[in-house]
Amino acid sequence: MPSTQLFPSTAFPAFPSIAVDPPEGWMPRVVPDAVGALMGPAVPGSYVPNVVITVSRRTPDYGLKDVANSVDAFLSTLPDAVLLGTEPVVINGRDWHIREARYTHPEAGSLTQFTAVTVVQQDVATDVVQLTGSCRASEDSQDLKAIYALVASAEVG
């Protein structure tokens, strides 16, 4: 006889908790397929800086190098993509893969996308936590600095 299965449970563990400290003026938003999103202050006629938080489930053998390769491959396909520094970093005791890219969005123009990913190993699965921030590209972007600070505050449990 089939038995009822429940989420969350041992067979289907809950997603990890994610805590971030948004910059002043940033507001939470609901975004499809995301567990959360934060938007910076809107300026009429300008691109709104944002950070979208997603969690996806993978097989238990999926690791940080696997997701790092996937992120890098995706970013390299963006129009006019210029991939900037990448490195493993530790944020609040957890290993992350960080990648920044500049690209041309067909409607918004030149944007910077900052992606940070980490994995949470569970007995039956690996959860991939991804924070993706985007803003107008500029050399001295306060929006990009706000995205850096938000990502640096991330605590995943």
Residue 127 counted as domain residue = yes
pLDDT digits (tens, 9 = 90+) for 20-40: 999 999 999 999 999 999 999
Residue 105 counted as domain residue = yes
Asked whether 115 and 99 are in contact (CB, 8 A), the reply is: yes
Q: What is the DSSP string of 92-126?
A: TTEEEEEEEEEEEETTTEEEEEEEEEEEEE-SS-E
* Cα-only R_g, the chain: 17
Q: Which residue has the tokens 């969690």?
A: 55
Question: How many domains is the chain built from?
Answer: 1
Residue 65 counted as domain residue = yes
User: Is this model's pTM higher than 0.85 or not?
Assistant: yes
Residue 10 counted as domain residue = no
% the chain with pLDDT above 90: 84
| Domain around 32 | 18-156
pLDDT digits (tens, 9 = 90+) for 79-132: 999 988 777 899 999 999 999 999 999 989 999 999 999 999 999 999 999 999
Q: In whole angstroms, give the CA distance from residue 125 to residue 60.
A: 4
Helices and strands: H and E segment counts in the chain: 2, 9
Q: What is the pLDDT of residue 139?
A: 66
CATH at 81: 3.40.1000.10
Residue 60 CA, chain-centre distance (Å), reads 20
Beta-carbon count within 10 A of 21 CB: 11
Residue 25 counted as domain residue = yes
pLDDT digits (tens, 9 = 90+) for 115-130: 999 999 999 999 999 9
Which residues are bridge partners to 56 per DSSP?
128
E strand or H helix at 75, and its extent? helix 64-76
Of residues 94 and 1, more confidence is placed in: 94
